[in-house]
Amino acid sequence: MRSDSVKKGIERAPHRSLFKAMGYTDQEIAAPLIGVVSAKSEIVPGHIHLDTIVEAVKTGIRIKGGTPIEIPAIGVCDGIAMGHVGMNYSLPTRELIADSIESMTMAHGFDALVLVPNCDKIVPGMLMAAARLNIPTVMVSGGAMLAGKVGDKRASLSDVFEAVGSVGAGKMTEEELLEYENNACASCGSCSGMFTANSMNCMCEVLGIALEGNGAMPAVYAERIRLAKEAGMTVMDTLEKDIRPRDILTLKAFENALTMDMALGCSTNTMLHLPAIAHEAGIKIDLEMANEISNRTPNLCKLAPAGPTFMEDLHAAGGIYAVMNEVNKKNLLNTDVVTVTGKTIGQHIENARNLDESVIRPVDNPYSETGGIAVLTGNLAPDSCVVKRSAVAKEMIKFSGPARVFNSEEEVNEAILGNTIEKGQVLVIRYEGPKGGPGMKEMLAPTSALAGMGLDKDVALITDGRFSGATRGASIGHISPEAAEGGPIAFVEDGDIISFDMEKCTITLEVDKEELEARKANWVKPEPKIKTGYLSRYAKLVTSANTGAVFATD
């Protein structure tokens, strides 16, 4: 066992004495040591209850003869960090999480891991660590928040952000806003729509590194406790069988993830995280793969913010396996890939059933014949950009309009709330990429404000930053190369015509090449926004969004 390095032989007597100082018995020390990585904190609604999940995991490990050892992981609440300098830190924590898990695991010789995250960057950060370390690992999340209710309308966090815009437009009173504030987030858990956290928890289930139910099962259900116990027991079986993350996280598994990403209509942030996880597993995902897969994958679900259903509805309709079974009626999945149980994905999904066709459309009656996410390319984004096509109004799928340029999120928020935005404009938000931000902020505030004002069918947003999974509307993010690296978005001027076609996957700045070259020659790279601390170091190491914003290795 790997843990022999910290506990076996007379030379490890000092090490064992330290275990005994914590109350571990000889029997516990002799058993396999299983690291249980908990993101529990009192600042994230998706993590406030993870102590309960972790205790259930520990119970499962003990049932099968292992010794669970809990260690911590950090986590930022993207909702609380939104709209201020805190959001600069969100994506960069992904790398901190992966690095800290690597450090704790290697320093203490754990034999296997159970990873217990729930929210946005925490899930991919933990998956990156699993792929990097390649010791037997099982993921179990904390589960989804229940949908709230305001009057007779079901609601989520994105509705509160949109309500702010409605107040600014005079369409809602502050008293009505308070109703949303008090009732939209109904329980602990990851926010209730197909936002980034739930998207990534679904991806864990699809990839096969988490058990059935991980993606859609609500946080407050007793099933979630049972699932956590099963995860604890499963990791002991995975250890015995020596099934490792890189046996699971194969190219075929990532193809399945991209397929289900399209079918479910997940957050555009999956286009950052899946390549980053694959990178740690030694696999390269070209974002062009996403379009190839999207072209043959029907979009079967429209969960909030794209539609009126929520994660609890998806769970009741049969969950992720039911969607996988439906998708595979077109033979779109690699069913021979192995999972943490030792069984294949095909074996797991063969008996899954679609219990509600209003939540999971049948494969022969999809919302669209192509997937929920599109990767666009063109002279404005030579290395690609990303949009959640399933959450875009039909009239905005093809669009052309004059640019209005902003050099920060703060500038565009001021313009939107100041009611200075005109219908037909393309709002360009630049210098918010991985290096320029730094940290590639999510920008839910401007997109939600526009939606709340009723402008989501009339105004487009384009950025080298990114948009929350709670975003709806023509919001195109991840423009690569970013402005801070001299990408074409840096040379856009007010009034330039920008055109995009989400069906043909093109985006064009209607300015001739010679003019762009002249602008580039006169461009002066701006000073870094943040020059000290972690974000300064992050900006020097991080790569482009189209590569997953991973750290450069040379």
List active site positions: 468
Contact 183, 151 (CB under 8 A): no
CA 345 to chain centre: 22
Per the document, the length of the chain is: 554
- CA 330, CA 323: separation in Å to the nearest integer? 12
Q: How far apart are CA 553 and CA 441, in angstroms?
A: 23
Tokens at residue 185, please?
A: 């987030």
Q: Which residues of 195-216 are buried (b: 16+ CB within 10 A; e: fewer)?
A: bbbbbbbbbbbbbbbbbbbbbb
Where do runs of H (alpha helix) occur along 242-368?
245-248, 251-264, 270-280, 288-296, 311-316, 319-327, 345-349
Q: Where are the beta strands (DSSP E) in 408-492?
A: 426-429, 460-463, 475-477
Residue 269's nearest CA partner among 117, 470, 33, 482 is 470
In DSSP terms, 401 is beta-bridged to: 498
C-alpha radius of gyration, the chain, whole number:
23
Tell me the CA distances in angstroms from 406 to 222, 282, 376, 416, 446, one per residue in order.
48, 38, 21, 11, 12
Cα dist. 59→71, 72, 231, 473 in Å? 16, 18, 10, 44
Label each residue of 104-136 as H, E or C. HHHHHCCCEEEEECCCCCHHHHHHHHHHHHCCC
Report how far residue 87's alpha carbon sits from residue 83's, in angstroms, rounded to the nearest whole number: 7
**469: its two tokens:** 């999974």
Measured CA to CA, the distance from residue 484 to residue 529 in angstroms comes to: 11
The pair of three-digit structure tokens given for residue 162, joined into one six-digit string: 């949109």
Phi, psi values for residue 334, rounded to 5°? -85, 100
Question: How many other CB atoms are there within 10 angstroms of residue 423's CB atom?
Answer: 10
Backbone conformation region of residue 65, classed left if phi is above 0, alpha if psi is from -120 to 50, else beta? left
